[in-house]
Amino acid sequence: MLVEIKRKEKIMTTTLPNIFTNTNKGNGIILSPLKMRKYLEKKGFAQFMTSEDRTAKRFYVQDDNNVLKIHNADTIKHFIIKEVEKCIDGEDLESKLEEDAENLLNAIARRKGDMIENQVLKLLPVTADIECEDASEIKLATDTNKKSYFRFKNGVVVVTAEDIKLVEYADLKDEGLIWESNIIKRNITLDNVYGGLFEKFAVNALKVRDEKLKGANDDWTREYPLTPSVITNLESLKSALGYLIQRDNTDQKCVVFVDRDSTPGSENGGNGKTFIMDSIKHFTGVVQIDGKQLFNNGGTRFAYENVTPATGLIHIDETDAKFDFKNLFSVITGDFVVDGKGKKKIIITEDKKPKFGITTNYILSGRGNSHTRRQHIVEFGNYWNACEELHGEHPSDEKHLGKMLFQRDFTDQDWNQFYMFGFRCVQLYLKDGLKKGSKGTYEEKRILTSCVPKSPEVQQFIYDYVLNKRVALGHFEDGVADYALYALFTSQVGENIAKYWDITKFKKTLFSYVSQLEGYDWNPEKSHKGDTLKSRLVRVGSRDNQVSVIRIVHANDNDDKNAFFEYLYEVSPTYRSLMDAA
């Protein structure tokens, strides 16, 4: 059937999609499932398998000039409607031809999506990017542990450990098909400019307040110096971003962004970790999942139902104290299974599955090699939290960034600087892998959660005492009587908690924690006797009045003590006057 479209004295002749059969019944048009299937095949539609499991769910895809687009029954139906509408997009159509086209549109509209799926789409040819006897093999472009590709409107950025360059699409025609969602809908210009707004935000997000600089001048930002520790953590963050942005799965880790100020029993946030993790959506497809709901109440079977083969990152945001990292073991390493409500499961092989990232205000429970080999920890500082909570300022203030990131006033130059920062992160990862950050407090807190899994008040006391108070109180020098330390403990945690903790249980827990901490020791003068609480027992006093003493020491205790008293001298007028008088 031909439709003549008259426009500006010219006649354009085109053919309606051949998806129907002429008949004398009704409106004269009946859709033909066979012809619809053949028509869709010519337009590049197929079923896509993600694994060799022939019973797993298949995706409907379209190869549109080497760009692989994911579809469902409704979007394919809409595609056909648009194809028909293209043929009647004129002003002076012959009434009979226009009527035929309208009848065809009505016939399509009457077909429900599930009818089209069952009668047409499930009969489309099957393709896969793996060798499989049930499908024809296609080639998908992919990153490797040596090279990554980023596709923009004006070309493809190729990143290696040695180089970052922009090439034409034609230069990579043999690399294979690409997912539509992996095309960044912007133009890119490569330059050597460093220090964009996003990079500035990331650097500040890692800064930690130096208490010795508190109140030293009118500008509170000077209390947050760029220390060697911050620079080391920045390298760790950059390597983590590079790992998450690129798609090679040679190294299988979960990147964890956590606040340095978080303690085992309480949360702390507002420091930019979620914003930085979320920025990866500007490079690749991201599915965000509520961490407070994931795995609670026995877990949720359909947590990943929105994940597709084109997804680059699964971002588990804001986990709570109940979150059990062990539930992620099987998906971080191994194939990835997606279950959807009322749908067949999807299996994405481990070399093509998404990366995992967690942002949390809590210490993740669990220790040992099974946990640590699956995690890359980045500890965030407290600069942006102080900015808003303590000083009533905002990152977009002129004093800080001067604008909102990624919003309307984010210029082409700002975007270029953002993407260049990302390319350099990928380059760092390809060159050096995931880089460890400066040793913070996360590991000490994680050990504590394993020693005291369900009592945040006790966790808080033990953590504060071992890392801070014992130095301030001078207990590392001569020790402290166990009954005196226990009395301090009970007074701070309160009666409702203390009634479950007698002195023996308290001492055993404290000893277990200290004995696992790197660099710490318990009554070291008894180390030759063994490594148990009993062998490290120290008693002082007369035979009839002996007292057990606890002395927990660390190699840096004297330095920490001097720093503490220097700080006390600066902030306490009373202490300063006493010291000056002495």
Question: Which residue type, as a one-letter code, is found at position 118?
Answer: N
Q: So what's the pLDDT on residue 464?
A: 87
- Of 101, 120, 137, the domain-final residue: 137
Residues 132 and 232 in one domain: no
Give the orientation angle of helix 557-571 with respect to helix 573-581, to 10 degrees: 110
Residues 412 and 475 in one domain: no
Pick 529 or 111 by higher pLDDT. Answer: 529
The answer to whether the CB of 231 falls within 8 A of the CB of 426 is no
Which run of H or E residues covers position 14?
strand 10-15
pLDDT at 287 over 70: yes
User: Residue 269 domain-assigned?
Assistant: yes
pLDDT at 5 over 50: no
Q: How far is residue 66 from each of residues 63, 79, 89, 93, 137, measured CA to CA in Å?
A: 6, 18, 27, 35, 14
As beta bridge partners, residue 302 has none
User: Residue 417 domain-assigned?
Assistant: yes
- Of 442, 465, 480, the domain-final residue: 442
Q: So what's the pLDDT on residue 366?
A: 72
Phi, psi for residue 255 in degrees, rounded to 5: -85, 125
pLDDT at 299 over 90: no
Q: So what's the pLDDT on residue 27?
A: 53
* CATH number, position 297: 3.40.50
pLDDT at 149 over 90: yes
| Average pLDDT over the chain, rounded to an integer | 85
Q: So what's the pLDDT on residue 439?
A: 65
Q: What is the pLDDT of residues 14-37, one digit of tens each?
A: 577 888 776 545 556 788 899 999
Tell me the mean pLDDT in the region 540-549.
88
- Of 442, 467, 483, the domain-final residue: 442
User: Residue 324: which domain range?
Assistant: 197-442
Residues 378 and 427 in one domain: yes
C-alpha dihedral over 276, 281, 285, 289, to 10 degrees?
50
pLDDT at 1 over 50: no
Phi, psi for residue 361 in degrees, rounded to 5: -100, 5
C-alpha span between 78 and 404 (Å, rounded): 37
Q: So what's the pLDDT on residue 7?
A: 38
Phi, psi for residue 147 in degrees, rounded to 5: -150, 140
Q: Which residues make Cβ contacts (< 8 Å) with residue 224, sequence separation at least 6?
A: 204, 207, 208, 209, 210, 381, 383, 386
Q: What is the pLDDT of residues 499-531, one digit of tens each?
A: 999 999 999 999 999 999 888 999 999 999 999
Q: The dihedral of CA 108, 113, 117, 118: what is its sign?
A: negative
Pick 327 or 253 by higher pLDDT. Answer: 253
The answer to whether the CB of 47 falls within 8 A of the CB of 125 is yes
User: Residue 153 domain-assigned?
Assistant: no
User: Residue 559 domain-assigned?
Assistant: yes
Tell me the mean pLDDT in the region 392-397.
95
pLDDT at 120 over 70: yes
Percent of the chain with pLDDT over 90: 51
